[in-house]
Structure 1
Amino acid sequence: MTINCKGRLVDFSTPKVMGILNTTPDSFYDGGSYVTEAKILRRAEEILSQGATFIDIGGYSSRPRAAFVDETEELSRVLPTVDLILAHFPEALISVDTFRSNVARQVVEHGAALINDISAGLLDERMLETVAQVQVPYIMMHMRGNPQTRQQFTDYGDIVKEMLSYFSERTAAARNLGINDIIIDPGFGFSKTLEQNYEVLQKLDLFQIIELPLLAAVSRKSMIYKVLESSAAEALNGTTVVNTLALSKGAKLLRVHDVKEAVECVKLTNAIWANM
């Protein structure tokens, strides 16, 4: 499995890591941490030096009950961040976490290499067409509703079967418009109860039937710290455990706050598989 990022082929025969850089004041774990140029550059350097392949920039928090952010504000957060990072790290592969087509178009024009859409194009009818036009890889996530309402929609008959149907429909729509490189994200924590998150994790290997790279984004989420009766700040060890399990079930990309530990997960998991 490979994707083309600005003319560079990224091969997922070895899983990769994506480091999170949120420019939001209210993200659930690192909100407000990266609001100055110095802090943004320090974080970008950390992500890259610790071995991540991608930097994922977010300008709109999708945590439960997060405040609405208008498009102008989102652009004011992400565009300067993309420009700043590429000015200092021109080879960096930047992903931008957005569900808005106009944001997607503008960040690609500024040099972003991927679009990471929590809605798989369902919150902006122009998103798939836009990604097809700008020809960058597209990460599509499973979610019902929107960032403010998503936890109201957790009623499933067979959650994995319904998710597979969802991805089948969304990938077909993307392919029909000419999107070549697609990554799927099961959306842990989005429109799922605690128990449903672990059911999806347990059956994660079933998503390999789609034959696309699979992203696991569990870093410090409540599905981990609620079980441990702790907090996001104390959830690194739990994140490492869940990341390792996700890799063993076919995940090819880990989206994380803690890059060093995730890269170690990949190395150790590879070593295990090499000796089986």
Structure 2
Amino acid sequence: MRRIFADLHTHTHRSDGVLSPTALIEKAAERGLKVVAITDHDTIAGLEEGRVAAEKHGLELLPGVELTVTISDNVVHLLGYAFDPSNDRLRTYLDAFSDGRRGRMQAMIDRLQDQGVTVTLDEVEDEAGPTAALGRPHLARILCRKGHAEGMQEAFDCYIGNDAPAYVAAPGRPAREAVDVIHEAGGFVSIAHPGQWMSGHVMRNLQRAGVDAIECISPSHPDYLVDYYKTKVQSSGLLMTGGSDYHGGSERRDERLGRLGLSEREWRPIARRWRGDGR
């Protein structure tokens, strides 16, 4: 079995994951990982807790974040890595994302109320916690608890999924702006899980915007796509990233941690970019 050394795509309860940063790091250590990136959606609120836990368990924590951006009339996700979390421009940028997510949540709540489903923003914020990026899973859990849906899937299917009546698209900022912010904070940027749907046009425009890497290894990538994107990074001179996109929850999702990511050899180019060495 391929030994996984680094998982560069994980989520905690600071966005739409299940585990706290501490619990995520503990589980990662149990499964033999040596490097983890916490990449919560549009927030870095979990990084300090994750750093303390990683130090305790002998892991390295690569600073990370997953950003929702727009390019060529498409919404895509970018992964920012190895930045300075205290950078002022980065913090201002993420604060604006937080405000946008809060506005989006209120818009979905308004649509639910139009259908006779009563949920308040206070309830969602209590569910999410004060520093979390508000997301649909927080709202879905409220819908389940109040008896409007029997499970998370039903909440999405009936109310807040992409084709459901209360759906509102996540806020996004231009990709080039996101890349510039991460670069200014000393980091680098990877295209998250491009999958089969990302057109060559969008990929080229992201490269023109200054991305540094492609996430080749992802649970949404079967072997042939992994091979395709590995060939692409080799031909373009980009870095390769990879991870489990771990959120926790179901047994199937939980199995991903420690099974998807980079080998030690694949990790070394990232280490050189981050630390300036090849360890």
Structure with higher RCO (Cα < 8 A, 6+ apart) = 2
Larger Rg: 2
Q: TM-score by structure 2 length?
A: 0.41
